[in-house]
Structure 1
């Protein structure tokens, strides 16, 4: 009888100990992660793992908040902006869903998602809000973020192997090509075509000396309002002792689809050339340079244009002509003034 009581007591103790362990785990499942809130998030085991890695190569795309799934965490959720992060070229993200429809995909910055891994992740300052939100998502308190984009999201996300073979050699920034990654995706695609052509195989985007990206890139409205059209100077790689540049000017059609840029001007220069805007803003004021357009008096262009300057040469202006659908080059002197022998029409 006495031994039965002892066995019963041991059994009861084990039951109470097991119940206490469960209670301890339940009450400690979350630890402090946001000191300013009573709603606490803590580390748990890896919630999900997915091998669907993508590289972003698009434009104007954002990771936005998903849905809140636990009202106890509304305070943290509402303190975060709806737009968590603007994706940048070469950002790596991981799809959290087994679906082929990118519109239904949700994403994370890391493959194995846990608060510990997120704490270890070396993100940028711009990714701070996104990381805070991912800590909600990884604990099941909110759904993972989705992509919001005006562009075609299928074309904006590619697999790492395609990125390596198609983009990496041309658009990964180094000390002498700073700014190249910021080009619109449509311009990148056109440059890839050019670099792989016979005419462009010896040209690359590269700064020399004191040049910056502002010296080699021009952006503005060449053919119409609210168009982000581009001019870019590429350096010939065959001879480091001489300056030789290819100027490429790209425009957008009146009804652009998926950033379908097309070439409206190209020219080779055998010396350094400076580019400037005919229309610009400064200190809150808009300014417009008047130019000669085969006239004896200066006139104003309806849209922007590119002013070209070189040493020991007259200035030229490139202005879009709608009838010919290309840029026309105008020497900056009165029409009646005789041209020097070294001046080009």
Structure 2
């Protein structure tokens, strides 16, 4: 007869424990209710917790906004009227992460062009003929109403734990916006951009700036294959500007990618007191140069040409054995010797 009170007590304890568990996990439960998943494990609703603002920092038109699935057949006409590729990304474009998904081990995160329910209002205030994003906006209106899945960004590059074509809004304003000054800068690989920003923000180099002055960025920045490694090399000329606005010197940096470390490193670093221009001879595939001899020869690696007014051009050529850039004056050896003798005579 005493077993019933014991059983009743155990049942009551179970209800209490279940109640505590439900209370503590209410947010998770609420989220699951508000954002059910279909059979493909794709969240259909706008996920407030996943909402993050990102900026695209990849190369121009290297990634695209693609349509998702149609969820309401009654909107098939509107859905079919929009192209599969809704938009081609440009450096600095803003995206709003609306759902973070993982489908069969693959990233299936979805993005909106506006915050929730703001796309329809924007559609009413723009000129469709003058808006590159018009298809993305129209599609987002459908997604906000639950008629389609939100679109995805593809390809979404992943390298060494970094999404190599997106950064958070806060990171963009903390330096990545400096690269939004044309294709020469925006085309620099993200991992190289990170290293350049680290250099510019360091205590000893904070006076160096990305500043073209009266020159063109095409003469100051090159993304090429000077080392023929798996990732592009980056050459950039920086200008040291004092607080008084005076240019003190110029610095040429060449960054190369290390597959072993998974990051870029400085392959060449030299200062100049006169303006510097750089040129990529690899574009023409005709890069015979002087290499301390009387005749021009073709080096094993494409040279980076350094130009300064009143001085002979110099070619920087990669030496694989020592992993360094070697400098060659672009004059025959005999002429170099004569010039050196003349300089010494003049000094005397």
Following superposition, the deviation at residue 78 of structure 1 comes to: 4.1
SS in 1 for 2:258: coil
Alignment of 1:1-345 (within 5 A): 48=46, 50=48, 52-56=51-55, 58-59=57-58, 60-97=62-99, 103-113=107-117, 116-120=120-124, 125-152=131-158, 155-156=162-163, 157-164=166-173, 166-167=174-175, 171=178, 173=180, 180-209=185-214, 211-224=215-228, 227-238=231-242, 240-242=245-247, 244-253=249-258, 257=262, 260-281=263-284, 287-337=285-335, 338=337, 340-341=339-340
CA distance in 2, matches of 1:95, 1:193: 27
Deviation by residue 1:286-328 (Cα, 9 ceiling, x = unmatched)? x412101122211113442211111111110011111111211
CA distance in 1, matches of 2:192, 2:125: 32
Deviation by residue 1:201-258 (Cα, 9 ceiling, x = unmatched)? 110101212x12112111211111774221111111116454621111112236795x
Q: Which consecutive unaligned segments of at least 5 residues does structure 2 have? A: 1-44
SS in 1 for 2:334: coil
CA 1:128 to 1:303, structure 2 compared with 1: closer, same or farther past 3 Å? farther
CA distance in 1, matches of 2:168, 2:230: 32
Give the TM-score normalised by the residue count of structure 1.
Answer: 0.71
Q: Which deviates further from its counterpart, 110-119 or 244-253?
A: 110-119
Q: Please identify which structure carries the higher helix content.
A: 2
SS in 2 for 1:132: helix
Question: May I ask how many residue pairs the two structures share in their alignment?
Answer: 285
Q: Which deviates further from its counterpart, 265-274 or 150-159?
A: 150-159
SS in 2 for 1:279: helix
Following superposition, the deviation at residue 196 of structure 1 comes to: 2.3
CA distance in 1, matches of 2:118, 2:239: 46
